[in-house]
Amino acid sequence: MMNAVDTRVPVAVLTGFLGSGKTTLLNRILTENHGKKIAVIENEFGEVGIDNDLVIGAEEEIFEMNNGCICCTVRGDLIRILGHLMKRRDKFDYIMIETTGMADPGPVAQTFYVDDDMQQKLHLDAIVTLVDAKHIWEHIDDSDEAKKQLAFADVILLNKIDLVAPEDLERLEARIKSMNSMAKIYRSRDAVVEMDKILNVGGFNLDRALDIDPKFMEPEYPFEWSGIYQLNPGTCEWVMGEGPDPTMGAALLPLANTGLAAKEATLMDAVLTFSDDEQAIKAGEMMRLGKGQYNQLVLNESGETVFNIEIQQPGYYMLFTEHHPDEFDARLRGADSVPDPLEAREYKPDHEHDEEVTSVGISVPGDLQLEKLNSWLSQLLQVQGQDIFRMKGVLSVRGWDERFVFQGVHMLFDGRADRPWGEELRHNKLIFIGRNLDRAALENGFRECLAA
Amino acid sequence: MMQRKRKSKRAQPALKAIWRANIDDHPIGLAWSPEGNILAVAGVSGPITLFDGADGAVQRVLPGHALDTMAISWHKDSRLLASVGQDGKVRLWDAETGAQRSEMAGGASWVARVAFCPAGDWLVSAAGRKLRLWNSGGELIREYPDANSTITDIKWRYDGKQFAISAYNGVVLYDPEQAEPLRRFEWQGSTLTLEWSRDGKYIATGDQDSTVHFWITASGQDLQMWGYETKVLELAWSFNSRYLATGGGTQVVIWDCSGKGPANTRPIMLEGHQQLIKHLEFQRQGMLLASGGNDGLLAIWKVKKNKPVMLADAVFRAPIAGLAWSPDDRRIAVSDESGTLSIAAVQGN
């Protein structure tokens, strides 16, 4: 489908776990005076007209197709409701669709690519994902839905930021950017966000996506956990049960105070310490304390193993462990108490990286040969379509005066001529977001499509 | 309506307009009364206009449904018209006086389907997963257990003794006298529409995944036809139950169900539309097929096994929104999305 002027009605899909603030945001959109006529399709029943706008309740009906292809899975209720809405004389400026908390954004996004009636009259403008900045940590590592909601997003709203410490917010933002570098991230409390941030996003902010400040990328750490303890002079014990490994690396470092700067400094010390030579520590032996003292705790063959710790200076200490203490049922035991950590933090283990959701951005000058591009893309999507959640690009195609813009969901994509390049330097930028992405292969494959 | 430029010099019978009107709304339903004296046209915004079938004079404008009318159906005696809409209601109108006779609750906010029995006094409505059977007095005869998903279509068998519904997961057959379904034709996919062959031997369905299904009602065997460009919402059986015309693309695909049936046969293909076909209607007693598309083209075809021909055509300004042959087959009512309504006779056939 190629046409220069897009007259289709833009659609935004609102995703986010229960409690992330979707309803608050929708109510705000419906009551705010933004001069637009908006139809909202909610997860609740009942149809209500609110002033100029319309709210329609819908029940998610996921239509899986007989051929078992995930990209043919669409939302049947949306096809019906939107198909009907498009017949009305009173045209809407914008349509917003709220999904249920656990929804996979795939089927709803695919609906706008797979169904001809939808594709002719509507276009997916933005997937907006609301994130409960405090509770997202409970899902971000384990929930496929949470990962997909973040990976699919064009706009991510970190909501309820008033409930989170600034450093945790930084960490969250960095983590999200490592998964989806394309999304624009905004912070809000009570889902307060300017309407133009989520309506008519119009998609192609690839410059931003491709120029990620490397410091935002969350580094890989050689440890999975740290805990901050306030300890007094004397001895205490680090008690470990049986676990998945016979040994575990650990470092115990003093912490000047509980401020962000001090924690960051100690974190860096810990990274260095874990790269030092390890020293085996057996049951009943004293753990070494301080920078450069990398303890390799050797467990008894069965039962509990107790390691001793001697504290001379009262104050804060940060204990870093190679694995999560829970895996060994490990804990600190004082003379007459079991001190809990004041703060604990988990780190993304580097060895799980392959299954992680990541973004691969490609930026290459030159003109593309359309046939080569088509055959590369179609083959790529056939093989890897299930793992590629989103892709977007602005391409320079030989023989075309206009920019070629495209975006896709899984195996489906929609490309069209955009505005003329004019004075602008002809250049190709595209981004893939998904699982198991091989950056080198993608970049090489793309370069092969350049016109000779 | 204007004549389309033709490449061939062959003289073609023309479509002669009998009357025209405009309802200034997107027409979503177009239904001749069984006697052929009234043409009811529902606009998406609600009102239902009753035109005199002979000259197009407006007889009544029924208010319809405040939040969009979705479907209409005539009672066999041509006096009652049923309508359903997004106000959650089924309404029965007296076509003669324009008065509302009954107002019934469909069971959910969007009542999308309604079908009067062509033979008896039954009326079936579907709202989401709710299926309800009424009589023409507006009394609820039966509420069925909820369907698996939203009911997409309801069609009576031509003798009025059974009706079938489609939903995600296939088709369910009912006898209006019984609460339990007669039969389920299960298939894991999204069935969008269904059509009985006149003899009741087949039920054809159009599906979201660009396929057409044939169900042999006696045995429950099925046959899947694939290769369509897009989802299939357009199905029409010829009166002799021989041909099923299907849309789902820019070509009309016609399956011949005579002999051993359509399996492993090459369908008849009709070319002429530039954009997706949206409506197909066979005559009730003849072999003319009308097709209407997003390109605004109305084409009338004579369907024959060896050389199907386009007998007449006309181009409307907007995509075709509906087609209906008059009960005597002599005229065809056509509407387009701009609200234009044109009643034409096919000459020279």
Could you give the percent of chain B with pLDDT greater than 90? Answer: 85
The whole-number average pLDDT for the span B109-117 is 95
The helix (H) or strand (E) run that includes residue A257 is none
Query: In the predicted model, what is the mean pLDDT of chain A?
Result: 84
Q: Which residues pair with B223 in a beta bridge?
A: B214
CATH value at residue A201 = 3.40.50.300
pLDDT above 70 coverage of chain A, percent: 87
B73 or B306, higher pLDDT: B73
pLDDT tens per residue across span B161-180: 999 999 988 999 999 999 99
Look at A52 and B92; give whichever has higher pLDDT.
B92
How many angstroms separate the CA of residue A389 from the nearest CA in chain B?
21
Nearest to B128 by CA among B141, B140, B144: B144
| B112–chain A Cβ distance below 8 A for any pair | yes
Does residue B11 register a pLDDT over 70? Answer: no
What is the SS3 assignment for A39-58?
Answer: EEEECCCCCEEECCEEEEEC
Give the pLDDT band of residue A213 (cuts 50, 70, 90): very low
Q: pLDDT digits over A305-340, tens only?
A: 999 999 999 999 999 999 999 999 999 998 777 788
The whole-angstrom distance between A400's CA and the closest CA on chain B is 26
> CA gyration radius for chain A?
26
* A65 to B189: CB separation less than 8 angstroms, yes or no: yes
Are B234 and B278 in contact, with CB atoms under 8 Å apart? Answer: yes
- Which residues of chain B make contact with A57, given a CB cutoff of 8 A? 109
Cβ proximity of A433 and A154 under 8 Å: no
Contact B109 A45 (CB under 8 A): yes
- Note whether A326 and A385 are same-domain residues: no
Q: Which of B28, B45, B208 to mutate to test the interface with A (most CBs of A within 10 A)?
A: B208
Sheet holding B58-62, edge to edge: B27-32, B38-43, B48-52, B58-62
Residues of chain A neighbouring B25 (CB-CB closer than 8 A): 89
Tell whether the model's pLDDT for residue A208 goes beyond 60. no
Report phi then psi at A90, rounded to 5.
-80, 100
State whether residue B208 sits within 8 Å of chain A by CB: yes
Candidate ranges A120-124, A144-148, B322-326; pick with highest mean pLDDT: B322-326
Q: How confident is the model at residue A1 (pLDDT cuts 50, 70, 90)?
A: very low
User: CA torsion B9→B15→B16→B18, rounded to 10°?
Assistant: -170
Assembly ipTM: 0.86
What's the whole-number mean pLDDT along residues A70-83? 84
Tens-place pLDDT, residues B26-53: 999 999 999 999 999 999 999 999 999 9
Number of domains present in the structure of chain A: 3
Which pLDDT score, from 0 to 100, does residue A220 have?
63
With a cut of 60, say whether residue A301 has pLDDT above it.
Answer: yes
How far does B189 lie from chain A, in Å, by closest CA?
A: 5
- Give B348's pLDDT tier (boundaries 50, 70, 90): low
A211 and A265 share one domain:
no
Q: Is the pLDDT of residue B184 over 90?
A: yes
φ/ψ (deg, to 5) at B164: -125, 145
Rounded CA separation A102/A93 (Å): 28
Q: Which two tokens stand for residue B60?
A: 């009544």
Does residue A345 register a pLDDT over 70?
A: yes
B69 at interface of A, judged by CB pairs closer than 8 A: no
End residue of a domain, out of A296, A329, A347: A347
Cβ of A68 under 8 Å from any chain B Cβ? no
Q: Do A129 and A18 share a domain, yes or no? A: yes
Three-state DSSP state, B348: coil
**Residue from the list A61, A66, A80 with its beta carbon closest to the beta carbon of B189:** A66
| β-bridge pairing B122-127 and B130-135 | antiparallel
Q: Which of A97-101, B105-109, B290-294 has the highest mean pLDDT?
A: B290-294
A84–chain B Cβ distance below 8 A for any pair: yes
Residue A452 lies in a domain: no
Same domain, A74 and A184: yes
Q: Does A157 lie in the same domain as A42?
A: yes
- On whether both A92 and A190 belong to a single domain, the answer is yes
pLDDT for A100? 82
- pLDDT band of residue A186 (cuts 50, 70, 90) is very high
Which residues from A are below 8 Å from B209, CB to CB? 65-67, 72
Nearest-neighbour CA in chain B from A111: distance (Å): 11
On whether both A43 and A71 belong to a single domain, the answer is yes
Which CATH number covers residue A415? Answer: 3.30.1220.10
Determine the pLDDT at residue A50: 46
Reference A264, options A342, A192, A318, A331; nearest CA is A318
The residue among B258, B288, B257, B284 whose CA lies nearest residue B270 is B288
**Domain identity same for A185 and A230:** no
Question: Which amino acid would we find at residue B338?
Answer: S
Tell me what the pLDDT averaged over chain B comes to: 93
SS (H, E, C) A326-342: HHHCCEEECCCCCCCCC
- Subunit contact A89:B68, Cβ cutoff 8 A: no
Task: State which of A216, A251, A274 marks the end of a domain.
Answer: A216
CA distances from A373 to A363, A378, A398, A442, B122 (A): 15, 8, 11, 12, 58
pLDDT of residue A354: 43
The reported pLDDT for the residue numbered B159 is 96
Q: How far apart are the first and last CA of chain A?
A: 27
Q: What residue in A sits closest to B187 (Cα-Cα)?
A: A66
**Interchain CB distance below 8 Å, B45 and A88:** yes
Averaged pLDDT, A338-352: 74
Closest-CA residue in chain A for B112? A80
A26 with A49, same domain: the answer is yes
- For residue A352, name the pLDDT band (cuts at 50, 70, 90): very low
B126 touches chain A (CB under 8 A): no
Backbone φ and ψ for A261, nearest 5 degrees, come out as -60, -45
Integer Cα distance of A74 and A67 in angstroms: 13
How far apart CA B125 and CA B163 sit, in angstroms, is: 11
Out of B108, B209, B337, the one facing A65 most closely (by C-beta) is B209
**Do A309 and A406 lie in a common domain?**
no
Mean pLDDT of A52-66: 67
| A89 reaches B (C-beta below 8 A) | yes
Is the pLDDT reported for residue A235 higher than 50? yes
DSSP A93-138: SEEEEE--TT--HHHHHHHHHH-HHHHHHEEEEEEEEEEETTTGGG
CA distance A315 to A257: 8
| Most confident region among A99-103, A120-124, A412-416 by mean pLDDT | A120-124
- The minimal CB distance from B209 to the residues A59, A67, A120 is found for A67
Mean pLDDT of A354-376: 85
Cα end-to-end span (Å), chain B: 20
Residue A48 pLDDT: 45
Write the pLDDT tens digit of every residue in B187-240. 988 899 999 999 999 999 999 989 999 999 999 999 999 899 999 999 999 999
Q: Taking the model in full, what pTM does it have?
A: 0.75
| A300 and A420 fall within a common domain | no
Instruction: Name the residue type at position A303.
Output: G
Smallest CA–CA distance, residue A4 to chain B, in Å, is: 19
Mean pLDDT of A404-423: 85
The pLDDT value recorded for residue B57 is 97
A352 vs A449, higher pLDDT: A449
Rounded CA separation A354/A347 (Å):
16
pLDDT confidence of residue A214: 37
User: Does position A212 have pLDDT exceeding 50, yes or no?
Assistant: no
Return residues 45-64 of A near B (CB < 8 Å).
Answer: 45-47, 57, 59, 61, 63-64
Residue boundaries of the structural domains of chain B: 234-349
Closest Cα of chain B to A2: distance in Å? 15
| A2 found inside a domain | no
User: By mean pLDDT, which of A53-57, A93-97, A176-180 is the weakest?
Assistant: A53-57
Task: Note whether A267 and A309 are same-domain residues.
Answer: yes
- Tens of pLDDT, residue by residue over B282-323, are 999 999 999 999 999 999 999 988 888 999 999 999 999 999
CB contact under 8 A, B109 and A77: no
Contact A88 B230 (CB under 8 A): no
C-beta of residue A321 within 8 angstroms of C-beta of residue A332 = no
Query: Which residues of B are less than 8 Å from A64 in CB distance?
Result: 188-189
| Domain around A418 | 355-447
- Shortest CB distance from B190 goes to which of A63, A88, A89? A63
Confidence at residue A47, expressed as pLDDT on a 0 to 100 scale: 42
Residue in chain A closest to B71 (alpha carbons) equals A84
Task: Give the homologous superfamily in CATH for domain B234-349.
Answer: YVTN repeat-like/Quinoprotein amine dehydrogenase (2.130.10.10)
Predicted pLDDT at A217: 43
* Cβ atoms within 10 Å of A276's Cβ, excluding its own: 12
Rg of chain B in Å (alpha carbons):
19
